[in-house]
Amino acid sequence: MNLFVNALSIVIVGILAVSLVYTLVIARKQKTAEGDIDSTIPKPVQKHIYLSNPIFVSYGIFFALVLFIILFCVISFF
């Protein structure tokens, strides 16, 4: 394996570890709703609805890495 693959593997494992820890922290902060009433959404989440969602952040990082890999392959082979 070359240096690029090793570096990319370390970055991917790091992102996965941070995502797992972030998901666990967010899951612990969730409060259970009592009865039929939902809990209120915090103001920072209302303002940044997409940035506070770890799924959208994961998709964004994934597509950025895919574009980086495509760019790297294009530069390497042409």
What are 5-41's pLDDT values in tens digits? 888 889 999 998 998 888 877 777 765 544 556 667 7
Distance, CA of 44 to CA of 52 (rounded, Å):
8
This model's pTM is above 0.85:
no
Place of tokens 């103001």: 43
Q: Three-state SS for 48?
A: coil
pLDDT for the residue numbered 38: 66
Token pair of 43 as six digits? 């103001």
Question: Sign of the C-alpha dihedral, residues 39, 45, 49, 51?
Answer: negative
pLDDT tens digits, 61-72: 899 999 999 998
